Amino acid sequence: MNRRQYLGVATATMAGLAGCMGDPEYTITDIGVSNMAGPLDYDIEAVDTAVTVDSPGSLDMTVRNSSQTAVEISNIGVWPFGILALMPAKENKFKTLLLTDGYDETDHVEVTTNSTRTDNTRLVRSLAASESVTRRYFVQGNRLSGSGTYTLGDYFDGPLLSYRTDDTDSWSERNPTVSVTITERSLLP
């Protein structure tokens, strides 16, 4: 191979890698969930742990009514979990909005590239005894502020969910402690 061909191949290779190196890729490596007091059980599972340039990672959130009676669950935005975000343990970092198909299916939330709005309509539905609801949320790599441990929370600083049972008129707030560890993947072998 002569010098001119070598420089052409090397330049093309570096140009191809430059686009990849600009967008880090991540892996969801660990999830921790604390137990919630009360009639509801909360679970989170990483379905797709790879957070790549072309494809987001995904988390399935499940709430289960472990009591013998129906429980009403209330939230803002989309039912039952609302508008979720990952908040880095490091201070002064932006929250990472988790996306869900539910945003497209409701008139209560508007998500754009640069903003998220809700009309603050409280959504209340009943969860029967032993019934569970699972919703999938997506983690986009371009929204993450880097690798590290994140805490799951409400994007607008509200509770993760509120609930009440038939024997009470007041709402109880639940904020289970959920940690999600995300590590950066090397793009080079």
Reduced 3-state DSSP string for 58-102: EEEEEEEECCCCCEEEEEECCCCCCCEEEEECCCCCCCEECECHH
- pTM of the complete model beyond 0.85: no
pLDDT tens per residue across span 29-61 = 999 988 777 899 989 999 999 998 788 999 999
Residue 85, pLDDT above cutoff 60: yes
In terms of Cβ atoms closer than 10 Å to its own Cβ (0-12, 13-18, 19+), residue 65 is buried
Residue 98, pLDDT above cutoff 50: yes
Token representation of residue 147: 């690798």
- Torsion on CA atoms 30, 34, 39, 41, rounded to nearest 10: 10
Strands 116-118 and 50-51: unpaired
pLDDT tens per residue across span 11-21 = 444 434 444 45
Token representation of residue 38: 């009360």
